[in-house]
Structure 1
Amino acid sequence: MSHITVWYDGACPLCIREIALMRKLDRRETITFIDIATPAASCPLDRQLMLDRFHASEDGRLLSGAAAFAAMWRAIPILRPIGLLARLPGVLTVLEALYKQFLKVRPHIQKRLKPID
Structure 2
Amino acid sequence: MNTEYDLTLLYDGRCPICRQEVTWLQSRNKQNKLALQDIHAEGFSPAHYGKSLDELMAEIHGVRADGRLIKGMPVFYAAYSAVGLGWLMAPTGWPLLKPLFDRLYAWFARHRLRFSTLFGAKPCQNKIHTDIE
Q: Which moved more, 1:81-90 or 1:43-52?
A: 81-90
Closer/same/farther in 2, CA of residues 91 and 82 from structure 1, 3 Å limit: farther
Give the number of equivalent residue pairs.
116
Correspondent of 1:113 among 106, 118, 121: 121
Residue-by-residue CA offset, 1:48-78 (whole Å, 9 max, x unaligned): 210221111223221111111111111121x
> Structure 2 regions of 5+ residues with no counterpart?
123-128
Whether the aligned pair in 2 keeps the contact of 1:67 and 1:96 (CA below 8 Å) is no
In the superposition, the TM-score normalised over structure 2's length comes to: 0.73
CA distance in 1, matches of 2:130, 2:40: 15
1:96 Cα deviation (Å)? 0.7
Following the alignment from structure 2 to structure 1, what is the Cα–Cα distance between the partners of residues 88 and 5? 16
The aligned residue for residue 26 of structure 1 is: 29
Q: Aligned equivalents of 1:74 and 1:85: distance in 2?
A: 13
- 1:4·1:58 contact (CA, 8 Å) conserved in 2? yes
When Rg is computed on C-alpha atoms for both structures, the one with the higher figure is: 2
For 1:94 and 1:61, the matched residues in 2 are separated by: 24
Q: For residue 103 of structure 1, report the CA deviation from its aligned partner.
A: 2.5
The equivalences for 1:1-117 within 5 A come to 3-43=6-46, 44=49, 45-59=51-65, 60-77=67-84, 79-111=85-117, 112-114=120-122
Name the TM-score, length of structure 1 as normaliser. Answer: 0.82
**Which ranges in structure 1 are unaligned for 5 or more consecutive residues?**
none
